[in-house]
Amino acid sequence: MDQLLRELTLEEKVSLLSGEDFWSVPAVERLGIGKLRVTDGPNGARGGGSLIGGVNSASFPVGIALGATWDVPLVTEIGAALADEVKSKGAHMLLAPTVNIHRSVTNGRNFECYSEDPILTAELAVGYINGLQGQGIGATIKHFVGNESEIERTTISSEVGERALREIYLFPFEHAVKKAGTWGVMSSYNRLNGTFTSEHNWLLATVLRDEWGYDGIVMSDWFGSHSTAPTVNSGLDLEMPGPPRDRGQKLIDAVKAGEVTQETLDKRVLAMLRLMDRVGSLDDHRPFVERADDRPEHRALIRRAGAAAAVLLKNHGILPLTGNGSVAVIGPNAKTAQIMGGGSAQLNAHYRISPWQGLVSALGETRLSYAPGCTNHRFEPLLRGALTVEYFANQTLSGEPVHVGTMEDAQAFWIGQVAEGKVDPLHFSARISGAFTPEVSGEHRVGIYSAGFTKVFVDGRLVADAWTHWTKGRTFFEEGCDEVVGTLDLTAGHAHEIVIEFATKDFATLGLAAFACGIGRPMGDAEISEAVAAARAAETAVIFIGRNGEWDTEGSDLDGILLPGRQNELVEAVAAANPRTVVVLQTGGPVEMPWVGNVAAILQAWYPGQEAGNAIADVLTGAAEPGGRLPQTFPVRWADNPAHSQDREVYPGLEGKVRYEEGIFVGYRHYDKLGMTPLYPFGFGLGYTDFSLSDLVIDDSAFESDGRLVVSLTATNTGARAGATVVQLYVSDDASGEPRPAKELKAFEKLHLQPGEQRSVTMLLDARAFAWYREKARHWLVEAGSFTIRVGQSSADLPLTGQVTRSTTLMLPV
């Protein structure tokens, strides 16, 4: 590497520190240095296409679903499979995993993150990274650090104390560096305590490199660099995407002016060369090819992982479904496969299996009836069908189009090359035309939202106008407006002409142009009555409700955790008609459940990837165990959450700041502190068999000398069928000199046991498991005194306890 570094010119060195385009770092052909390519994750490898369309890819369970598995070997296996996916897209790095903490239940990106707990998050991240990098594909753990909400995320300052940072928010990144040796770290968009993380010297130099010994690269989030010399000097190696905004000639000039030293520049370049060597791009000169590689083994893994993630929250003897009775399949998510969240994690899946399809395969269609009941969409259903697109090399739709193309549906995410390069991607206009033929006559709603100016005309009449009074909203990563909706009556069987006019506008942070247009028919009392009739006529009613990727999405937090639309009303009505009602929830986090006492069973299925319906049907029918346990506490109501406050600076933020007032008391730590009983506790989940834990033994022979413990116990499957459980170990500091949580998860193990099988479980704890971080002294401290070890199957079910004591304090370095 050193010899190659010496051969590079200043211009060539600078070229390696920023993207050439949206997904790649340029080659240096003179020296035979190949191009480095990256692709979005974390629940698949989308490849070089935009967020919409593109080459088909495998869609794996989302982050919170992987968090719910509590299964490090399984997540490692998924990481290795994702390495295959990245290779099929001609890339060398995956922009994953996402390890930000579930601080608030309303964060729009919680679905993409593992947990509210740093230990669970960290261990799963290590498995994911080991799986990826074991196959030669670089991981890019993100977002470093403090991106726990999506509101004003590109500018807001996350105000977080150092103790909370060290104990909660930095911990997964530290684990990834020290235990997995991650090759990539992505800085977050936000500021941390006033300074953008992409130029935060304490974060990138002091903590990451000096204290943790990191030797990989730090790349910016897309358009997340805000300066030239400050980012380079602080430790940001790579500005993405390209062409560069802050580097290129600006960096060349900064080096010549002495604002960036040659030594600092060489450190950044050497890190890039080291990465390119690790991932094999240094000598990769193959033609760029993207494949839609639909592998049977990946299909099987996704299906297995989806079942392993499903959390059975309630079961009054109704699941698994047995016998030959009829089943009413009800709800807005029944015939729609909700497989992933929205934003940069979305991709064009090979296929999508809906719960209806899964149940048809498992039970046969003759046993099933169907009623939608109500809707749960945030935006009107996407207009689909053949559409013609005329592109204009101006922003006024004037003159002759410079290019004519087609669309399969009325949505576009234009970034990079547009219209085969015949228009400036930030300064153009387009006219999209087609037809919509309704199935039912009557009132319809036409919705449009866009990062740009848009109007929708139906049969020549302006129906929805997001142009004249365009206002910034919460779509398209906060570059778009909120949906504008108009209503009109349409005639069944008649092809109504649809024309959408679009023009680009100045962007705030992210240089993109986008729109989506939908047409839908409102549902009302008649549809709920139809669902009630179906439920009453069937032996069992299964309601598929929740949210979708319009709600759980990057770039937009939720307003609360009530189910959208009339879904709660639907559940109440169906449960009143049939006591054998099962609720299947698909969300990226908790929801309030006012009907919890009225239904027989509740299954949380998350967004489990392209095999969603098959995985859900496997669990409902007993072909697979509901293997998941909650990675996030489910509160009774949104107001119980630790981030909920009357002080807007605490959440959602005020005047450019969001203050982490709760400090270390995140998730279950908060509920324990207040003595508050949640709806469902962290780590909770039922199965189709029972387990007992016994014979707790604590070996504390090394506890006084270096703070280590060995904890062992016996787990037994006491039920009649094979199943899974998670043994969870929590530590309590019985008399700390500073406020500490009542208990903290410090170790866990996922077990799969046959009926009657016993297994010994051994868990090792190091000194950090007992330490807290002293901000002023800048070290970790294990205090003298007693600690209680608690072991069980959820944070609220810890029957095995033991106590250990040390007589001296132990100070640990950062």
Instruction: Kindly report, residue by residue over 186-223, the tens digit of the pLDDT.
Output: 999 999 999 999 999 999 999 999 999 999 999 999 99
Would you say 651 and 592 are in contact if contact means Cβ atoms under 8 Å apart? no
Tokens of 661: 């007032």
Domains and CATH numbers, the chain: 297-377+524-632 (3.40.50.1700), 384-520 (2.60.120.260), 691-812 (2.60.40.10)
DSSP 142-174: EEETT----TTTTT-EEE--HHHIIIIISHHHH
Contact 45, 72 (CB under 8 A): no
pLDDT at site 381: 95
State the average pLDDT over residues 611-618. Answer: 98
What pairing do the DSSP bridges indicate for beta strands 24-25 and 36-40? Answer: antiparallel
Q: Residue 620, CB half-sphere, CA atoms under 13 Å: how many?
A: 32
Determine the Cα–Cα distance for residues 187 and 147; give it in Å rounded to an integer: 10
Identify any residues that bridge with 518 across adjacent strands, giving them in sequence order: 382, 447
Phi, psi of 195 (to 5 degrees): -115, 135
Local confidence band at 428 (pLDDT 50, 70, 90 cut-offs): very high
Q: Which residue has the tokens 């930095």?
A: 170
Give the residue-averaged pLDDT of 251-263: 98
Question: Strand 93-95 to strand 138-144: parallel, antiparallel, or no bridges (unpaired)?
Answer: parallel
Whole-angstrom distance, CA of residue 42 vs CA of residue 326:
39
- Tokens at 255, concatenated: 């080096």
pLDDT of 737 strictly over 90 = no
Residue pointed to by tokens 């450190």 = 267
pLDDT in tens, 271-294: 999 999 999 999 999 999 999 999
Tokens linked to 203: 């974060």
Which is more confident, 416 or 164? 164
Q: Is the backbone of residue 249 left (phi > 0), alpha (psi -120 to 50) or beta?
A: alpha
Dist CA 153 CA 147 (whole Å): 7
| DSSP letter (8 states) at residue 482 | P
What is the structure's pLDDT at 48? Answer: 86
What angle (nearest 5°) sits at the alpha carbon of residue 82, between those of residues 76 and 85? 160
Per-chain mean pLDDT for the chain: 97
**Paired sense of beta strands 581-586 and 540-546, if any:** parallel
CB 63 within 8 A of CB 113: yes
Confidence check: pLDDT of 627 > 90: yes
State residue 629's pLDDT score: 98
For 518, the 3-state DSSP assignment is strand
Active site residue 506: no
Give residue 270's pLDDT band: very low, low, confident or very high (50, 70, 90): very high
Contacts of 327 (CB under 8 A, 6+ apart): 321, 359, 363, 367, 368, 369, 538, 539, 540, 541, 542
pLDDT at 568: 98
- Among residues 40, 71, 117, 221, the one annotated as catalytic is 221
Could you tell me the two tokens for 758? Answer: 């016993």
| Residue 781 CA, distance from chain mean position | 33
What token pair was written down for 787? 């600690």
Residue 657 three-state SS: strand
Amino acid (1-letter code) at residue 404: V
Q: Is the pLDDT of residue 50 over 80?
A: no
Among 186, 248, 185, 182, CA closest to 222: 186
771, with CB counted inside 10 A (0-12, 13-18, 19+), is buried
Which residues are within 8 A (CB) of 540 and not within 5 positions of it... i.e. 6 or more apart? 318, 321, 325, 326, 327, 328, 578, 580, 581, 582
What does the block give as tokens for 114? 């593992």
What does the pLDDT average to over 648-660?
A: 97
Residue 143's pLDDT band (cuts 50, 70, 90): very high
Rg (CA), the chain: 27
pLDDT of 311 over the 90 cut:
yes
Asked if residue 54 has pLDDT above 90, the reply is no
pLDDT surpassing 80 at residue 409: yes
Give this prediction's pTM.
0.95
- Residue 249: partners with Cβ closer than 8 Å, 6 or more residues away: none
Q: What are the structure tokens assigned to 340, written together?
A: 């992933």
Given a cut of 80, whether residue 730 has pLDDT beyond it is yes
Span 327-357, pLDDT tens digits = 999 999 999 999 999 999 999 999 999 999 9
Kind plus residue range of the DSSP H or E element containing 505: none
- Spatial distance between the Cα atoms of 629 and 652, rounded to a whole number of angstroms: 28
Using DSSP, state whether 759 is helix, strand or coil: strand
Measured N-to-C along each axis, helices 296-309 and 72-88 cross at an angle, to the nearest 10 degrees, of: 140
CA distance 329 to 540: 9
Angular region, 496: left φ>0, alpha ψ -120 to 50, beta rest:
beta
Cα-flanking dihedrals φ and ψ of residue 206, to 5°? -65, -55
Would you state the structure tokens that stand for residue 699, as one six-digit string?
A: 């070996």
pLDDT of residue 169: 98
Q: DSSP readout, 181-244?
A: --SEEEE-SSEETTEEGGG-HIIIIIIIIIIT---SEEEPPTT----SHHHHHHT--BB-SSS-
Residue 374 CB-half CA count within 13 A: 24
Instruction: Tell me phi and psi for residue 811, to 5 degrees.
Output: -105, 135
Say which residues have a Cβ less than 8 Å from residue 293's Cβ, sequence separation at least 6.
58, 84, 85, 88
Report, as an integer, the average pLDDT of 116-121.
98
Distance of CA 401 to the CA centre of its chain: 39
In which element (H, E) is residue 621 found? helix 612-621
Using CA atoms, how far apart are residues 611 and 623, in angstroms rounded to an integer?
14
Residues of the chain above pLDDT 70, percent: 100
Q: What is the mean pLDDT of residues 31-53?
A: 92
The tokens describing 595, both together, are 């009907």
**Strand order from edge to edge, sheet including 772-774:** 772-774, 779-782, 810-812
- The residue among 147 and 417 whose pLDDT is bigger is 147
- What pLDDT band is residue 162 in, cutting at 50, 70 and 90? very high
Higher pLDDT, 477 or 572: 572
SS (H, E, C) 286-341: CCCCCCCCCCHHHHHHHHHHHHHHCEEEEECCCCCCCCCCCEEEECCCCCCCCCCC
Handedness of CA 336, 340, 344, 348 (dihedral sign): negative
Collapsing DSSP states into helix, strand and coil, what is residue 411? strand
Element (H, E) at 732: strand 723-733
Q: Are 570 and 331 in contact (CB under 8 A)?
A: yes
Mean pLDDT value across residues 504-510: 87
Compute CA 77 distance to the chain's CA centroid, rounded to the nearest angstrom.
Answer: 18
Q: How far apart are CA 100 and CA 41, in angstroms?
A: 15
